[in-house]
Amino acid sequence: MKFENAVSQHQLKKLWHGSAKTGSDNLTSNYIVDACIVVKWLLPGESYQENADRLKEDIKYSKTEMFAPSFMTQEVANALWAAIKLGRITQEDAQKALSNSDELQINLYDFNWTEASGELAIACRLDLTIYDAAYLFLSEKMNSQLITADDKMYKKAKGHFKVLHLKDYV
Distances (CA, A) of 69 to 23, 109, 119, 131: 26, 5, 12, 9
CA separation for the pair 8, 101 (Å, rounded): 20
Domains of the chain: which residue ranges? 42-168
**Fold topology of 42-168:** Rossmann fold (3.40.50)
Q: What local confidence, expressed as pLDDT, does residue 22 receive?
A: 26
For the entire predicted model, the pTM comes to 0.82
Distances (CA, A) of 64 to 31, 58, 81, 99, 151: 7, 8, 30, 23, 24
CA separation for the pair 51, 62 (Å, rounded): 16
Pairing, β 145-148 against β 6-7:
unpaired
Q: What local confidence, expressed as pLDDT, does residue 62 receive?
A: 85
Give residue-wise pLDDT tens across range 87-114: 999 999 999 999 999 999 899 999 999 9
3 state DSSP class of 150:
coil
Give residue-wise pLDDT tens across range 68-90: 999 999 999 999 999 999 999 99
3 state DSSP class of 37:
helix
Q: What local confidence, expressed as pLDDT, does residue 25 receive?
A: 42
